[in-house]
Amino acid sequence: MHKGVILGVCSIQIRRRDSLWSVWQEGEKNGIISAIMSRPILAPSILSADFADIAGAVHAIEEAGAQWIHLDVMDGRFVPPITFGAKMAGDIKKRTSLFLDAHLMVMEPERHLHDFIEAGVHAITIHPEACIHSHRALQTIRNHGILAGISLIPSTAVNTIAPLLESADIVLVMTVNPGYGGQKLLPFCLGKIDELRTFREQHGLSYRISVDGGVNATTISELASHGPDVLVAGSAFFSAENKRHFVERMREEFRRNSPSGQREC
């Protein structure tokens, strides 16, 4: 187990329906829990950052008051571009205490899990479209004390991952076809958020619902009405002249438009 990720929880056995979110709350908090529990969670994606100044991008995310850093890992096979690997994640880990959310848009992600675990990320999300043994991969992630996520591209239906949801801590709904930043949100994907919320409530699960693609100040009102927990924003965040104002505006609009009575993360 990577000891730097979750402290004091190694002896806690994870039951079938448990989420690592509850385990984190039982273990050492180290300031991370308070950061990830404030809804909505804002997760700027460094895909849209200047790769020649990643340290500056990380600092900008911290100064803006966002809680997570979203790491878009691409291999040139599952999606056309190639971005970066576990070394980048590890280098970022050395420079921030923020929650690191690694999104592996790669074929056979199970081959790379241990590299990202050793890099010290807090969550690893895989695509079932790219992984034959997705359940095994999720269990591997969780067995190392890392939050396990599963992501859906626009053409993948929620019902195809129903058997995996008990093993997921995060479900990432892609609202664009993955691979490139700056795309427009695909409205037909938003219904998946509703399906996932209903499934979560009906089955007593606690995974967080994340949304990635076309998340910006124009789409936040519609997004919020569906009630996701995590908002991944890349181009909109890094193109904002005042990034703290952007984060504050996104939170304000989210809370104004989110479904009444929805539980806090």
| Residue among 145, 148, 221 nearest 190 (CA) | 221
Phi-psi region of 198 (alpha: psi -120 to 50; beta: other; left: phi over 0): alpha
Contact 238, 259 (CB under 8 A): no
Q: How far apart are CA 34 and CA 77, in angstroms?
A: 37
Q: Which residues are CB-contacts of 58 (< 8 A; sequence separation ≥ 6)? A: 46, 69, 92, 95, 96, 98
Angle at 250 between CA 216 and CA 155, to 5 degrees: 40
How close are the terminal C-alpha atoms of the chain, in Å? 26
Catalytic site positions: 72, 212
> For the CA atoms of the chain, what is the radius of gyration?
17
Paired with 120 in beta bridges are none
| Residue among 243, 198, 197, 199 nearest 217 (CA) | 243
